[in-house]
Structure formats: C-alpha cells, structure tokens
Structure 1
C-alpha cells in the first residue's frame, strides 16, 4: 500500500496493513497470520466495515512479550509504580 502523501516524511503511520505488519515483525505474511491466530500478535483494528489495520504500538507490546532464546521474555513493568491521574 502506498504511503499517505498527507503525512510528513518523518512521521510514520500508526496503523499499518497486514503485509507491512508482517514485515515490521520480520516474518512472512503467512507466519504473521498464524501468530495472530495463536494470539501471539494482536488482532487488527477495524476501519469501517471491512478495512483492517494493525496498531504499531500493539505490535510493539506483543513483540516485547515474545519468548527470548534461552528463556522467557518478561513483560516490561517499568511504569507499573506510576499512579495514573
């Protein structure tokens, strides 16, 4: 899919399509679909009735939770002690 021309070149889109989401995760689209099915990657957001896109922030969070070779990934709780307003 072509990049939106309304965005400045330095601003990456927050929502990306399936192929871009797979590339972002360094996997093939077929493996990405499998990871979504297995809930290792997030489900897409719905834009309208049929258009689907993945939130880059949700992808980042899912990537952070993937297992690490030689051990398990630990969820980042860096901000867990900060009280929300």
Structure 2
C-alpha cells in the first residue's frame, strides 16, 4: 500500500500543470490548449514563474461543456428518415 493511500490527510493537488490539467480532463495537449485559447476552459493562474490550472475551475468548465447529442431513434426510424421524400 502506498504512503498516500494509507494517509487519511492526503488529498489531490488543487493546482495542476498544463500536462496534468489536460490529462485530468482526458484531453490531449493541443485540444487542451485550443479550449483554453477560445475560452471554453479557464486560463491558468500565475504563481511566480509557474502557470497552474485550478482543478476546481477545470471541473466547473468541464461541467459547462455541452453533452454529445444523442439520437434515440430506432434503427428502423433512422432508415425511414434517411429516405428521400417522393
């Protein structure tokens, strides 16, 4: 058992570097950078010369991203809807 797992006072870091922040959200670095640049993810905080992302702000931004549209039609209905109108 690792020391962290056995320590009841351990907790995840609040600030994450760029690579860890992207990994935390399950994103590659280029997509992470794009989402930060266009404002869908928060900008980093500056701590001396380090730039770090607030994990809580990342969570909030991630929650506000749209869900993937779901198509709940049956396979038959999709086939009917795709036929040209006569």
Higher RCO, 1 or 2 (CA under 8 Å, sep at least 6)? 2
TM-score, normalising length from structure 2?
0.68
Specify every segment of 5 or more residues in structure 1 that has no aligned partner in the other structure, as ranges.
1-7, 72-85
| Residues 1:32 and 2:32 aligned together | yes
TM-score, normalising length from structure 1?
0.69
Deviation at 1:29, TM superposition (A): 1.0
Deviation at 1:11, TM superposition (A): 1.1
User: 1:40-51 counterparts in 2 under 5 A?
Assistant: 40-48=40-48, 50-51=49-50
* Partners of 2:12 and 2:68 in 1: CA distance: 30
* Partners of 1:29 and 1:70 in 2: CA distance: 25
* Partners of 1:67 and 1:38 in 2: CA distance: 15
Say what the alpha-carbon RMSD is for the aligned residues. Answer: 1.9
Deviation at 1:10, TM superposition (A): 2.8
Specify every segment of 5 or more residues in structure 2 that has no aligned partner in the other structure, as ranges.
1-6, 71-86
Count of matched residue pairs:
64
| Structure having the higher Rg | 2
* Partners of 2:22 and 2:69 in 1: CA distance: 24
Runs of 4+ in 1 over 3 A off after TM superposition: none
